[in-house]
Structure 1
């Protein structure tokens, strides 16, 4: 007999000798998942239940019984194996990101997964990830597939899942009631605890995401700022306007030397007349939330996915006011923000200088911008959506000559890199963003026939291993400042400041003021002197720094 035939024979013998009921198979698989896919869950549990081993055991048993009760709803001979195989693969995938990167799989993370691109997601499919999924997902799944499931009569087949569900919930409730005060306090104070539980957290998150999408079907987009008009700064003899809004990606303010970071990551901008705002909070911790939120009229507390897609953005308001508005993208799309204005994707250009790795660096914007500026004959607002510092492949975000901080991590497998190497690679991306912004500002400053300005703000920050967290996307309630504090930089040409009567010293005095993405919608309108009821003056950064008499005299 060949080795394959021997293995096949042995498997057949095991199947006939050790058949398992659906309930037994479910319980064994669940034990396996509890032991192999929940390192973070048990680590947090040991911390929060420190000194209360009995309570910890009771809580763990209650969670096991509740999960088994849920599994039992699929505990029929024809459904149990496909369901358990899916649970094994799911738990292996999510536990890898939870246990190695500190990534919590909540509703927003499911949304990020659903809107990501193959180009973006391929960098997360590392050798370590594949090995983990094979060992703790695929191989156990093959074992489950090989097991022979016992079949019983119709009555027993129907009753066992119902009894398991009922008893599981009842016993779990009894265990939780035995120390309800402690358990409820822990769950209230440590929301990260159950957010780390596999496979519960991703299942709940998927259900919440599905409900959110169901509520947002067939939406009618409400107009915003249809009353918008250009203000008194727009005299007939003036120059056409070009304002560039740069939407940064994954840049955190803590690594900008403009804001006090000890590493020279902004050598170019430091020599340009920019205002760098040091205390700016993001609307979210991932692009799918932060990007549409920052261009919307809603503040962070009032924003939701449903509101975002059912209301026009500030780009629409500018369009209503008579500006030509465009969105250029070198990332994963505009998330619906630019649905009603012209868009251009530069992500898959074939420029050998900037796109050799199959996706483009942000230098790709510069040649396109030079060609575009010559065609401008009307007031224009151009949004550049950067790839910026998007990880984990930081080394792909900058040209080789910009690897200034060494040694740098040159792989998406962070465990193969030291903490310093990861930070160095990230700092190189910030230095390259510094270069692109400086080039853009210098280009704008050279446009003698245009009145120009630039505002840059990142969508969210990034964790680089602090407290065991990497990348971004943590729930906002527990996200560190490295994920929620973002850089915002303003530059205006002399022509622009004179046209709009803006006081640069007044704006510079707000450098350390607490600001957020909430200010962007209203500040863009204020900066460009757009009169509309949609603008809230209290949130307009420029409101108190404009000399209206000076503008009126022009």
Structure 2
């Protein structure tokens, strides 16, 4: 006799385990995979039957995964989890064009609540409740008619084998076409919910497990100050600004129709108009920017296993610090002093979230007291979305009307672009302020190097935000701004030829150049510096350091 009080609820439906799994798999494929269906009928345009057979194979694959995981007492918890996962991920995939892969899982795991809360909107909650929460409640409500253990095992084997057989059998009806699609159109299976995020989570877990066994290898321990740096009469101060989500397409320095860079245009800077990023999200690009590895060689494990640019500068005798107004240094400053900016550093810039002006007071004070060669990294909040309007002061809302909600699909394209352009204009203003306060401090020999970690999509092709995988990433997410400012005394002290550097700024560059170029600019001699990637070394007016 059952003791479950839910058994006495009137009208309660009773289903077999297989029927419940079948219904959930159909719900998942039909109602949480809008992007998948769009890709499917685009790829198999004019061949609806071929498309539906492929969809049948994907449904069988979902059923197979459910059958493997949702066994006996674990059935309902597994089904509820899968429904909620699909409810969450389908919102970002279908509404914002996001691909939930390993890199996106990594971004989610390394973000902060202050950053992620802007993605939790009423529309998001409503979507999750309808497509994940409601069916999950129904799963919990229905009764499951359990067979005996041995009959249950037999049924499980039959269903699992049948689902696996369906996957193979349906694909073999046109294996040539399907195999070509699976190789060439990775976005198709990358959009299947909840299989794609589950695969991404497994890859992320594997990556994190491997990272626990990493031993950091020293890099550039032979680094020393070259003759020009050693002979400088005053301490050298380089500020490296690690930008956030700035795309080159919206920089007027690169030809954008709006005047988004008036401050930098009025200063003696070099703008690298053909710079590309290592990745499309902070978790990848930020450590890659500072790594001695190129994009072709970089991996999460590889980045962790090598000391980076900041370590090499410390080996050369620089005092190095990391100041953060974002989501942390992603292990780039793991062996060096770091701090997070708060309202105590500039209350007028934190209401409640801090915009990048919060760096200025402490930077001015630091520049006025420096007694040794120093590198300070400022990690911006920059243009991080979707709450673009929170990244600049209200009085600097130049382009109007601007989108004032993180629910980007509720704004017009004009409003989104206006808000985003205001963030670029504020970054321009901020960088101009950094340059001015450095140039005004005559006790140091200053320079500033700026590079954005990645770009942003503003609705082009149905894509918003960033984090697209390499095979799908548009230029707007990989073409980034890069800026170099050198004071006259920096150029003179370190014997740098301005005309030569300007010529090299017209060439294609990337994050690959940053490691060696910063070392070259600062006249740091080390075997870790790659002469091919160093944009500054060949531009010395005298013998190379």
TM-score band w.r.t. shorter chain: over 0.9
- In structure 2, what is the equivalent of residue 477 of structure 1? 471
**Which of 227, 242, 247 in structure 2 is aligned with 1:232?**
227
Offset from partner CA, 1:502-535 (integer Å, 9 cap, x none): 1111111223211000000010111111111101
2-side partners of 1:190 and 1:347: how far apart? 45
2-side partners of 1:141 and 1:70: how far apart? 17
SS of the residue corresponding to residue 486 of structure 1 reads: strand
CA deviation after TM superposition for structure 1 residue 335, in Å: 0.3
1-side partners of 2:107 and 2:344: how far apart? 24
1-side partners of 2:17 and 2:7: how far apart? 22
Q: Report the number of matched residues.
A: 541
CA contact (8 A) 1:246 1:383 kept: yes
- In structure 2, what is the equivalent of residue 3 of structure 1? none
1-side partners of 2:480 and 2:474: how far apart? 12
1-side partners of 2:464 and 2:312: how far apart? 37
- In structure 2, what is the equivalent of residue 14 of structure 1? 11
SS of the residue corresponding to residue 239 of structure 2 reads: strand
CA contact (8 A) 1:349 1:355 kept: no
Unaligned runs of 5+ in 1: 1-7
Range with greater deviation from structure 2 (477-486 or 348-357): 348-357
CA contact (8 A) 1:75 1:161 kept: no
SS of the residue corresponding to residue 122 of structure 1 reads: helix
**Which of 73, 87, 93 in structure 2 is aligned with 1:92?**
87
Unaligned runs of 5+ in 2: none
SS of the residue corresponding to residue 548 of structure 1 reads: coil
SS of the residue corresponding to residue 363 of structure 1 reads: helix
- In structure 1, what is the equivalent of residue 267 of structure 2? 272
2-side partners of 1:474 and 1:140: how far apart? 29
CA deviation after TM superposition for structure 1 residue 165, in Å: 1.2
**Which of 188, 202, 217 in structure 2 is aligned with 1:207?**
202
Structure 1 residues 333, 400: closer, same or farther in 2, change over 3 A?
A: same
SS of the residue corresponding to residue 446 of structure 2 reads: strand
**Which of 327, 341, 347 in structure 2 is aligned with 1:346?**
341
Q: TM-score, normalised to structure 2's length?
A: 0.97
Structure 1 residues 110, 9: closer, same or farther in 2, change over 3 A?
A: closer
Alignment of 1:525 onto 2:522: no
2-side partners of 1:235 and 1:57: how far apart? 70
**Which of 520, 528, 532 in structure 2 is aligned with 1:534?**
528
Alignment of 1:369 onto 2:363: yes
**Which of 452, 455, 459 in structure 1 is aligned with 2:453?**
459
2-side partners of 1:263 and 1:517: how far apart? 26
Offset from partner CA, 1:135-182 (integer Å, 9 cap, x none): 111111111100000011111111222211111111220111121110
**Which of 271, 284, 304 in structure 2 is aligned with 1:309?**
304
2-side partners of 1:57 and 1:11: how far apart? 41
Offset from partner CA, 1:408-456 (integer Å, 9 cap, x none): 0011011221000000000000000000100000111111111010010
**Which of 437, 441, 450 in structure 1 is aligned with 2:431?**
437
CA contact (8 A) 1:309 1:336 kept: yes
1-side partners of 2:375 and 2:230: how far apart? 18
Q: TM-score, normalised to structure 1's length?
A: 0.96
- In structure 2, what is the equivalent of residue 196 of structure 1? 191
Alignment of 1:160 onto 2:168: no
Offset from partner CA, 1:301-349 (integer Å, 9 cap, x none): 1000001111101100000000000100000000000011111110464
CA deviation after TM superposition for structure 1 residue 132, in Å: 0.5
2-side partners of 1:350 and 1:542: how far apart? 34
CA deviation after TM superposition for structure 1 residue 10, in Å: 11
- RMSD over equivalenced CA pairs, Å: 1.5
SS of the residue corresponding to residue 14 of structure 1 reads: coil
